[in-house]
Amino acid sequence: MRSIWRTLDRGLARDIGLVCLADCLVGVSYGAIAVSSGFPLWLPMLMSLLVFAGASQFMFIGIVAAGGNPFAAVLAGLLANARHLPFGFAVGDAVGRRRVTRALGSHLMSDETVAFAMAQDDAPRRRAAYWACGLGIFVFWNTGVLVGAYAGTAISDTDAFGLDAAFPAVLLALVLPSLRDKAARLPVLIGVLVALVATPFLPAGLPVLLALAGVLAGVAAKDPELEEAR
């Protein structure tokens, strides 16, 4: 584990820290919303430890709080997390080969851990980014949920705080510097448009998966034949 922390450079550690902080704030929002919606104090904390999937947890709380069937809420969460199957194939080398590390690494998998891992150029950095991000988010998310759950007993209007906006705001801040590269603009814009169009029609989580169409556009734009033609 020490080798993981030694592999991280200052910039990568900073970016991971910002995402962990954003997840902590969203966790506070989730815990507060769950408890203020009438769920027992222990439920959001237990779900965060065992499920550890923000979109699915928000979806479950929202569906059940609105009077929906809990089984339907579970199925909706499974559908949202179906994107983790291709993610697992993409970052298998970063998770490890032993059964214990694979089980733990699979539990820590999220959009953020996969994104940081796949952005690295070599295997040691992919592994370091994956585990540092996964462990960091797990600790910060559960801490935020704990704080939010207790705060939810005293907060009557959770919408007034707007904590859900913190996470996408930090992700936007991380993406903006890459837009200086002309080759990165097309994939990013296509991904954003696809996600925006799909969001009103699909469960949470799936629009993010469809946004990977922007990556395909970026690969096509860098086709070797096109590069030679230039």
CA distance 39 to 64: 10
Cα separation values, 35 from 90, 150, 173, 186, 205, Å: 36, 8, 31, 42, 23
Query: Alpha-carbon distance 97 to 61, whole Å?
Result: 35
- The CA distances from residue 189 to 93, 111, 114, 117, 196, in Å, are 29, 19, 20, 22, 11
**Residue recorded with tokens 């169009």:** 197
Q: How much is the pTM? A: 0.69
Q: Is the pLDDT of residue 46 over 90?
A: yes
- Helix runs in the chain, H state only: 2-7, 10-36, 42-50, 54-65, 70-80, 84-90, 92-95, 99-107, 111-118, 123-152, 166-175, 182-198, 206-210, 213-221, 224-229
Q: pLDDT, tens digit, for every residue of 97-126?
A: 788 888 888 899 888 888 888 888 888 888
Q: Transcribe 91-137 into DSSP letters.
A: THHHH-SSHHHHHHHHHT--HHHHHHHHT-SSHHHHHHHHHHHHHHH
pLDDT given at position 86: 78
Q: Averaged over 31-53, what is the pLDDT?
A: 89
pLDDT beyond 60 at 223: no
